[in-house]
């Protein structure tokens, strides 16, 4: 747990990071007796497949423990977004200059750019993404950075830390590859990797693989959904677009009208502030069956490599 608890008695709410929670007793020991009028909020940015990987907490012990949730799912009290899309100019006009960031313009190096790149450091293949990538590599060249690949960028091969838009590795990939494989580490409804939004600042076409409905968060014809293709079919499509710049450019047309928000994941703090000022946030409420809410309703595919494109 995070031990920023010096003002817990006067706080309007307490955020408890799920991944750092050992037991409810541990939390009570750190935080002291509960104030019934103070909501305790479950905070987690990862899926349930990763969130409980450290302490292996028994979910039944968390029944009736949390009052509110701060999670990536649509039914969370405060939903965590890694990013979102806005109309060009609208986002920047409301921000201080230090946060204004235009998209990187299209490069003139189309013919010299390499085909595809991915950053993968969670090697437990819950989503079957590694199997998909390995199959894809049998047909086209794909560079994989991180613990699960053969390449590294910078001083560390570990790329599971939080990326920034100006990260050297991100810039290198965004400006020197045609496609970025934004493959999720878990097939969970509503879950979208932060790397997808970060790479939208660059003239690179994302190839997504996950259980989210990308059509609700991405502009039309701005991405390629790998769920619609076998690895061999996807290889043919990427190779075709790499040989036809005009067709490839159509996947970047959306950038004329929209852009990724420069607020990105920080929006959640504004959303939290709004909820803290709404009286209903403090009404009595508990999550009676934590496993039902956190695991079952999250609708994660736990059967490893069962992607439609990998079935025979």
The dihedral through the CA atoms of 56, 62, 63, 66 has a sign that is: negative
Q: Which helix (H) or strand (E) holds 172?
A: helix 168-176
Other beta carbons within 10 angstroms of residue 219's beta carbon come to 15
Other beta carbons within 10 angstroms of residue 103's beta carbon come to 17
CB within 8 Å of 246: residues ≥ 6 apart: none
Q: For residue 128, give the nearest of 194, 179, 181, 186 by alpha carbon.
A: 186
CA dihedral 62, 63, 67, 70 (to 10 degrees): 50
pLDDT in tens, 55-98: 678 889 999 999 999 999 999 999 998 888 888 865 554 444 54
pLDDT, position 290 = 94
Cβ–Cβ under 8 Å, residues 42 and 16: yes
CB within 8 Å of 38: residues ≥ 6 apart: 11, 12, 13, 14
Q: What is the DSSP letter of 75?
A: T
Q: What percent of the chain has pLDDT over 70?
A: 83
Distance from C-alpha of 295 to C-alpha of 52, rounded to nearest angstrom: 11
Q: Which residues are 225's β-sheet partners? A: 208
CB within 8 Å of 168: residues ≥ 6 apart: 153, 154
Q: Which residues are 79's β-sheet partners? A: 71
Distance from C-alpha of 130 to C-alpha of 142, rounded to nearest angstrom: 12
**Phi and psi at residue 207, to the nearest 5°:** -110, 115
Distance from C-alpha of 97 to C-alpha of 26, rounded to nearest angstrom: 43
pLDDT in tens, 134-190: 999 999 999 999 888 888 775 443 444 445 666 788 888 999 999 999 999 889 999
Residue 269 has which token pair?
């703090």
**Pairing status of strand 85-87 against strand 258-260:** antiparallel
Q: Rounded to an integer, what is the distance from CA 228 to the centroid of its chain?
A: 21
Residue 19 has which token pair?
């991944």
- The answer to which of 17-26, 48-57, 131-140 has the lowest mean pLDDT is 48-57
pLDDT in tens, 109-119: 888 999 999 99
Q: What is the DSSP letter of 20?
A: G
Distance from C-alpha of 174 to C-alpha of 170, rounded to nearest angstrom: 6
Distance from C-alpha of 190 to C-alpha of 56, rounded to nearest angstrom: 23
Q: Is 137 helix (H, G, I), strand (E, B) or coil?
A: helix
What domains can be seen in the chain, in order of their start residue?
Answer: 14-81+265-310 (no CATH), 85-261 (3.40.50.11660)
pTM above 0.75, yes or no: yes
Cβ–Cβ under 8 Å, residues 99 and 163: no
Q: Tokens 């990797």 identify what position?
A: 193
Distance from C-alpha of 84 to C-alpha of 30, rounded to nearest angstrom: 35
pLDDT in tens, 247-299: 999 999 999 888 888 777 788 999 999 999 999 999 999 999 999 999 888 88
């Amino acid at each position: 747990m995070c031990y920023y608890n010096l003002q817990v008695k006067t706080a309007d709410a307490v955020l408890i990071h799920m991944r750092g929670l050992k037991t409810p007793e541990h939390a009570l020991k750190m935080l002291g007796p509960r104030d019934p009028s103070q909501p305790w909020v479950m905070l987690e940015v990862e899926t349930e497949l990763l969130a409980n990987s450290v302490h292996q907490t028994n979910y039944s012990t968390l029944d009736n423990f949390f009052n509110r949730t701060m999670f990536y799912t649509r039914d969370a009290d405060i939903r965590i977004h890694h990013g979102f899309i806005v109309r060009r100019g609208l986002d920047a006009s409301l921000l201080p200059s230090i946060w204004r960031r235009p998209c990187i313009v299209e490069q003139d190096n189309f013919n010299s750019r390499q085909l595809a790149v991915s950053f993968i450091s969670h090697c437990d293949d819950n989503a079957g993404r590694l199997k998909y990538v390995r199959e894809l590599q049998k047909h086209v060249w794909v560079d994989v950075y991180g613990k699960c690949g053969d390449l590294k960028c910078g001083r560390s091969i570990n790329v599971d830390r939080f990326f920034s838009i100006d990260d050297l590795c991100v810039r290198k990939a965004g400006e020197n590859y045609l496609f970025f494989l934004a493959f999720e580490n878990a097939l969970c409804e509503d879950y979208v990797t932060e790397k997808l939004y970060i790479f939208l600042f660059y003239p690179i076409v994302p190839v997504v693989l996950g259980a989210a409905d990308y059509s609700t968060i991405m502009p039309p014809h701005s991405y390629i959904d790998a769920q619609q293709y076998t690895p061999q079919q996807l290889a043919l499509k990427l190779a075709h677009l790499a040989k036809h710049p005009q067709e490839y450019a159509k996947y970047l047309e959306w950038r004329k009208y929209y852009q990724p928000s420069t607020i990105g994941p920080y929006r959640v703090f504004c959303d939290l502030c709004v909820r803290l000022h709404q009286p209903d946030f403090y009404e009595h409420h508990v999550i009676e069956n934590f496993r039902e809410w956190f695991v079952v309703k999250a609708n994660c595919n736990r059967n490893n490599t069962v992607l439609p494109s990998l079935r025979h």
